[in-house]
C-alpha cells in the first residue's frame, strides 16, 4: 500500500502542541539564571527546588514575551486570566504540581498562515499559555539510558521552572496528502516567527522548541477518528516523518478492521517509526485549580497595543516583500532562505549595494565557503558593509570578477576591508590604456593567426588574445575594456 493510496482513502486530521522555552534571563517564577548546559543543580533556589515555604513570583518579561507571541499569531489577549495548578506526581517536577494555565489562557483564538507548495494553509491557533519546564532525569542501570530497565534515576533541576509557552493548534483538516508537509511547514513558520520576535532561541536540538503531534484518520464524510499523540519529535524533518509514519501505521490498522487506541506514542529518529507509550485511558485526574500563590494577570489594553506596535514584520510578510523587491523567483528566494542569507542581503542593500550584487556574493563565494566550513554565513567574519564596499568597487570597474574573488578570499582570511586589501595586495584593474595597448600589440604579434581570424570576422577568437593580455597584466585588466580595444584594433 503506497502513501498515495492511503491518502486517497483516508483524510488525516492533525493537531500540534508546541512547547517553547522562552529566552528570558531568569526562570518563570524565580530569579535563577537559565543558561543552557550549566553544571547540574547549580541554577536552583528554594523556589524552583520547591523547598518548604518558598513562593513563586511571575517574570514580567515572560508575560510580555507571551503576549508578543500571541499577537504575532493573531490571537486575542485575555483581559483577565489566572495561573492554575496541574497536580500530578513526577520526580522532575519539584512541587509535584506544575504551575500552568487551564481554562484561562493568556492568548487565544489566533492563526498562522503557512505556505506549502505555493498554497497558503491557515493553521488556527486555539491557545497560547504559560507554564514552567521540568527538571532533567538521567536513567541509570538500563542498557539504553532509557527509563525501561533502569535501576535508578538522577535528577537535575536546572531546567525546572524555565518559562515554557505552549502553543496549541485547533485540528487541521482538509490537507490530505500534504498533512505531513503542512505540519512541518507550520513548525518551521512558527520557529521563524518566534526567532523574529527574539523571544526564544528556538533550537529544536537543544529542546527549546519541542513538538507533540496529534494524528487521526477518517474516511471521507465520516467523523474524525481516534487520535494518537506523538511525543519526542525534535526536528523539522521528524515532524514530517512522524505524521507520515502515523498515517501509514493507522491506515494499516484500520484496513485490517482494527481500532486505533488513544495513546501517547514516541517517535524514534533512527527508525522513523513511532512506538506505543502510555495509554490515555489511564490518564490521571490533574485536579486543576486556580494557583492561590499568584494573583490574576490583567494586561492593560494600552500595554498590549504598545507591544503590538513594536512587533517586527512577520517572516512571511517580509519574505513576500523582499522577494518582490529583489525580483526573485520563488525558487531563488527559497535558496536565499535556506542559506540563512535574508538578513545579510537586506543589510548589504541598506549599506548601498544593488540587490543583484549583494545576492551574488552572499549566495556565491560566501555561501560556498559557509558550506565548506560548516560555519553559518554570519559567522564568516564578513559584514554586510564589507560586501557593499566590494560591490561598489566592482560596479565602479575598479575590480573585475577575478580580482574581486581574490579580495573575498583575503577578506575571509581577515585581511581587512576590500579597500585595504586592494591597497595591500595592489589589486586594481589596469586602466592605463597605453599600457594595455602595449600588451595588446604584444599579444597580436605573438598570435598572428588568431589576429587574422578576428580580422576575418570571427570575434569569438578574441578570447585567446584577451587571455594573453590578462596574463601579461597579472589579471589586473578589465576584460571588457581589453576586448573592446582588441576589436577596435583589428577592425
Partner 1 sequence: MSSLIKKTAAELGELIAAGQTSALEVTREHLDQISKVDGRVHAFLHVDVEGALAAAKAVDARRAAGEKLGPLAGVPIAVKDVVTTKGLPTTAGSKILEGWVPPYDATLVERLKDAGTVILGKTNMDEFAMGSSTEYSAYGPTFNPWDLTRIPGGSGGGSSAALAAYEAPLSIGTDTGGSIRQPGAVTGTVGAKPTYGGTSRYGLIAFSSSLDTPGPCARTVLDAALLHEVIAGHDPRDSTSIPAPVSPVVAAARQGMSGDLTGVKLGLVKEFMSAEGAEPGVVAAFHAAVESLTKLGAEIVEISCPNFVYALPTYYLIAPSECSSNLARFDGVRYGLRVGDNGVNSLEEVMSLTREAGFGPEVKRRIMVGTYALSSGYYDAYYGQAQKVRTLITRDFQAAFEKVDALISPTTPFVAFQLGARTADPSSMYLADLYTIPSNLYGGPAISVPCGLSEGLPVGLQVMAPTLADDRMYRVAAALESTIGTLTPPEL
Partner 2 sequence: MTAISREEVAHLARLARLAVTDEELDMFAGQLDVILQSVARVGEVAAEDIPPTSHSVPLTNVFRPDEPRPGLTRAAALAGAPDSAEDRFRVPRILDEEE
Which CB atom, from 145 or from 474, has the smaller least distance to partner 2? 145
CA distances from 355 to 247, 317, 369 (A): 44, 19, 20
CB of 313 to partner 2, least distance (A): 25
For residue 428, give the C-alpha cell.
586594481
Which CB atom, from 87 or from 354, has the smaller least distance to partner 1? 87
Q: How far apart are the C-alpha atoms of 108 and 125, rounded to whole Å?
A: 7
CB of 97 to partner 1, least distance (A): 5
Q: How far apart are the C-alpha atoms of 341 and 431, rounded to whole Å?
A: 34
Give the one entry of partner 2, partner 1, none that residue 277 binds, where binding means its C-beta sits below a cut-off of 5 to 8 angstroms depending on kind: partner 2
Residue 91 lies near partner 1 (rule: CB under 8 A): yes
CB of 71 to partner 2, least distance (A): 18
Residue 96 lies near partner 1 (rule: CB under 8 A): yes
Please, what is the Cα angle at 165 between 37 and 98, to 5 degrees? 85
Edge-first strand listing for the sheet containing 107-116 = 76-77, 107-116, 119-132, 163-169, 11-21, 209-218, 228-233, 263-267, 274-279
Q: Which of 205, 281, 285, 449 binds partner 1 (CB under 8 A)?
A: 285
Q: Which of 74, 87, 334, 417 binds partner 1 (CB under 8 A)?
A: 87
Residue 423 lies near partner 1 (rule: CB under 8 A): no
- Judged by CB under 8 A, the stretch of 56-64, 119-127, 318-326, 357-365 that binds partner 1 is 56-64
CB distance 156 to 40 below 8 Å: yes
Give the one entry of partner 1, partner 2, none that residue 95 binds, where binding means its C-beta sits below a cut-off of 5 to 8 angstroms depending on kind: partner 1
CB count within 10 Å of CB 378 equals 15
Burial environment of residue 279 by CB neighbours within 10 A (0 to 12, 13 to 18, 19 or more) = exposed
CB contact set of 241 (below 8 Å; sequence gap of 6+): 180, 267, 272
Which CB atom, from 43 or from 476, has the smaller least distance to partner 1? 43
Residue 337 lies near partner 1 (rule: CB under 8 A): no
Residue 52 lies near partner 1 (rule: CB under 8 A): yes
CB of 159 to partner 2, least distance (A): 12
Measured over the CA atoms of residue 136, residue 265, residue 195 and residue 311, the dihedral's sign is: negative
Residue 46 lies near partner 1 (rule: CB under 8 A): yes
- Judged by CB under 8 A, the stretch of 81-89, 393-401, 402-410, 479-487 that binds partner 1 is 81-89
Q: How far apart are the C-alpha atoms of 193 and 20, rounded to whole Å?
A: 12
Task: Give the residue from 201, 245, 172, 227 showing the smallest Cα distance to 6.
Answer: 245
Q: How many CA atoms lie within 13 A of 134 on its CB side?
A: 15
Give the one entry of partner 1, partner 2, none that residue 62 binds, where binding means its C-beta sits below a cut-off of 5 to 8 angstroms depending on kind: partner 2
CA trace torsion 421, 426, 431, 432 (10° rounding): 160
Q: For binding to partner 2 (CB under 8 A), which residues are involved?
A: 24-26, 30-33, 39-46, 48-49, 51, 57-63, 80, 82, 88-91, 137-139, 141, 147, 150-157, 264, 277-278, 284-285, 287, 290, 292, 294-299
Which CB atom, from 155 or from 168, has the smaller least distance to partner 2? 155
Q: Which of 219, 278, 287, 368 binds partner 1 (CB under 8 A)?
A: 287
CB count within 10 Å of CB 351 equals 17
Which CB atom, from 288 or from 405, has the smaller least distance to partner 1? 288
For residue 4, give the C-alpha cell.
498515495
Give the one entry of partner 1, partner 2, none that residue 138 binds, where binding means its C-beta sits below a cut-off of 5 to 8 angstroms depending on kind: partner 2
Q: Which of 2, 37, 80, 89 binds partner 1 (CB under 8 A)?
A: 89
Give the one entry of partner 2, partner 1, none that residue 50 binds, where binding means its C-beta sits below a cut-off of 5 to 8 angstroms depending on kind: partner 1
Q: Which of 38, 61, 63, 155 binds partner 1 (CB under 8 A)?
A: 155
Listed in sequence order, the DSSP H helices in 150-235 are 179-197
CB distance 193 to 315 below 8 Å: yes
# binding residues, partner 1 (CB under 8 A): 30
Measured over the CA atoms of residue 280, residue 286, residue 290 and residue 292, the dihedral's sign is: negative
Q: How far apart are the C-alpha atoms of 382 and 291, rounded to whole Å?
A: 51
CB of 53 to partner 1, least distance (A): 4
Q: How far apart are the C-alpha atoms of 75 and 71, rounded to whole Å?
A: 5
Strand partners, 407: none
CA distances from 239 to 137, 211, 215, 334, 347 (A): 24, 8, 11, 20, 32
CB of 87 to partner 2, least distance (A): 9
Give the one entry of partner 2, partner 1, none that residue 54 binds, where binding means its C-beta sits below a cut-off of 5 to 8 angstroms depending on kind: partner 1
Q: How far apart are the C-alpha atoms of 131 and 14, rounded to whole Å?
A: 23
- Judged by CB under 8 A, the stretch of 5-13, 52-60, 327-335, 365-373 that binds partner 1 is 52-60
Residue 488 lies near partner 1 (rule: CB under 8 A): no
- Judged by CB under 8 A, the stretch of 172-180, 220-228, 241-249, 284-292 that binds partner 1 is 284-292
Q: Provide the binding-site residues for partner 1, judged by CB under 8 A.
A: 46, 49-58, 85, 87, 89, 91, 94-97, 151, 153, 155, 285, 287-289, 292-295
Amino acid at each position: 500500500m503506497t502513501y498515495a493510496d492511503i491518502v486517497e482513502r483516508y483524510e488525516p486530521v492533525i493537531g500540534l502542541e508546541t512547547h517553547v522555552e522562552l529566552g528570558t534571563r531568569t526562570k518563570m517564577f524565580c530569579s535563577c539564571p537559565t543558561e543552557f548546559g550549566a553544571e547540574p543543580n547549580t541554577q536552583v533556589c528554594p523556589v524552583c527546588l520547591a523547598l518548604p515555604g518558598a513562593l513563586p513570583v511571575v517574570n514580567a518579561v515572560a508575560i510580555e514575551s507571551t503576549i508578543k507571541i500571541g499577537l504575532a499569531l493573531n490571537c486575542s489577549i485575555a483581559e483577565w486570566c489566572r495561573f492554575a495548578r496541574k497536580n500530578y506526581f513526577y520526580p522532575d517536577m519539584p512541587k509535584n504540581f506544575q504551575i500552568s494555565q487551564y481554562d484561562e489562557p493568556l492568548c487565544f483564538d489566533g492563526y498562522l498562515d503557512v505556505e506549502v507548495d505555493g498554497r497558503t494553509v491557515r493553521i488556527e491557533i486555539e491557545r497560547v499559555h504559560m507554564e514552567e519546564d521540568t527538571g532533567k532525569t538521567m536513567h541509570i542501570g538500563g542498557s539504553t539510558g532509557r527509563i525501561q530497565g533502569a535501576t535508578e534515576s538522577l535528577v537535575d533541576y536546572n531546567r525546572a521552572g524555565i518559562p515554557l509557552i505552549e502553543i496549541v493548534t485547533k485540528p487541521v483538516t482538509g490537507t490530505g496528502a500534504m498533512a505531513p508537509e503542512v505540519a512541518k511547514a507550520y513548525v518551521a513558520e512558527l520557529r521563524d516567527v518566534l526567532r523574529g520576535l527574539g523571544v526564544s532561541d528556538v533550537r529544536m536540538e537543544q529542546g527549546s522548541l519541542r513538538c507533540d503531534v496529534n494524528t487521526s484518520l477518517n474516511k471521507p464524510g465520516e467523523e474524525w477518528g481516534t487520535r494518537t499523540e506523538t511525543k519526542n519529535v525534535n526536528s523539522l524533518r521528524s515532524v514530517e516523518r512522524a505524521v507520515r509514519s502515523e498515517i501509514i501505521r493507522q491506515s494499516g490498522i484500520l484496513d485490517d478492521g482494527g481500532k486505533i487506541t488513544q495513546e501517547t506514542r514516541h517517535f524514534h529518529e533512527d527508525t522513523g517509526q513511532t512506538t506505543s507509550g502510555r495509554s490515555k485511558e489511564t490518564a490521571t485526574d490533574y485536579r486543576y485549580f486556580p494557583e492561590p500563590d499568584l494573583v490574576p494577570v490583567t494586561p492593560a489594553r494600552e500595554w498590549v497595543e504598545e507591544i503590538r506596535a513594536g512587533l517586527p514584520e512577520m517572516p512571511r510578510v517580509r519574505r513576500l516583500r523582499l522577494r518582490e523587491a529583489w525580483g526573485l523567483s520563488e525558487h531563488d528566494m527559497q535558496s536565499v532562505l535556506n542559506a540563512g542569507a535574508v538578513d545579510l542581503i537586506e543589510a548589504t542593500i541598506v549599506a548601498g549595494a544593488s540587490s543583484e550584487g549583494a545576492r551574488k556574493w552572499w549566495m556565491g563565494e560566501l555561501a560556498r565557503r559557509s558550506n565548506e566550513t560548516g560555519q553559518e554565513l554570519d559567522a564568516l567574519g564578513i559584514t554586510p558593509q564589507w560586501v557593499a564596499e566590494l560591490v561598489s568597487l566592482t560596479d565602479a570597474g575598479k575590480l573585475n570578477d577575478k580580482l574581486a574573488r581574490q579580495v573575498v578570499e583575503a577578506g575571509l582570511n581577515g585581511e581587512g576591508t576590500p579597500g585595504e586589501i586592494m591597497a595591500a595586495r595592489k589589486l586594481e584593474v589596469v586602466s592605463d590604456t597605453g599600457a594595455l595597448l602595449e600588451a595588446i600589440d604584444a599579444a597580436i604579434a605573438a598570435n598572428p593567426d588568431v589576429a587574422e581570424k578576428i580580422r576575418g570576422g570571427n570575434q569569438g577568437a578574441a578570447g585567446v588574445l584577451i587571455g594573453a593580455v590578462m596574463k601579461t597584466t597579472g589579471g589586473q585588466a578589465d576584460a571588457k575594456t581589453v576586448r573592446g580595444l582588441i576589436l577596435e584594433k583589428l577592425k
